[in-house]
Amino acid sequence: MGHCYSLDLRVRVADFIAAGHSCRAAAEHFDVSESFAIRLVRRTRDTGSPAPARQGRPPGRGKLVPYESFLIQTVAAEPAITMPELAARLLEQHGVVAAPAMLSRFLCRRGFTYKKSMDRPCVARGLFQIG
């Protein structure tokens, strides 16, 4: 994945171009690529700001979001359930294939924490508690 140039550099390049220099001259002067300078001018014209766009996937989407209540209710009803068992139950009841690691990350983002306890069986298989 690419990186974003700092806002300071973006503003200086945009101001240099706005002062009447070409995009190619700005790219050479600030040691950035020509395509960056050209896209920066376009972005500034379209949005009014040289600030970079947000990177990454928008939050709140994913294939497990529609099944959030099912997953939370299942783990709340049976806190000692393992992630492979939860994945099997999700497949059985809803027909959705999900990796155990994906379920674990999903539940951690929803406030469930992984608790290790010596008096519980299946310690290393993914016990979750609200926490």
Report the interhelical angle of 83-94 vs 68-77 (nearest 10°).
130
The pLDDT of residue 116 is: 57
Contact 71, 107 (CB under 8 A): yes
* pTM for this predicted structure: 0.50
Neighbours of 56 (CB within 10 A): 6
The pLDDT of residue 122 is: 45
Element containing residue 28 per DSSP (H, E): helix 23-30
The pLDDT of residue 60 is: 67
Q: What is the mean pLDDT of each run of 10 residues along the chain (131 residues)?
A: 84 96 96 95 94 79 89 89 93 94 90 65 49 51
- Could you give the 3-state DSSP secondary structure of residue 128? strand
The single-letter code of the amino acid at 78 is E
The pLDDT of residue 13 is: 96
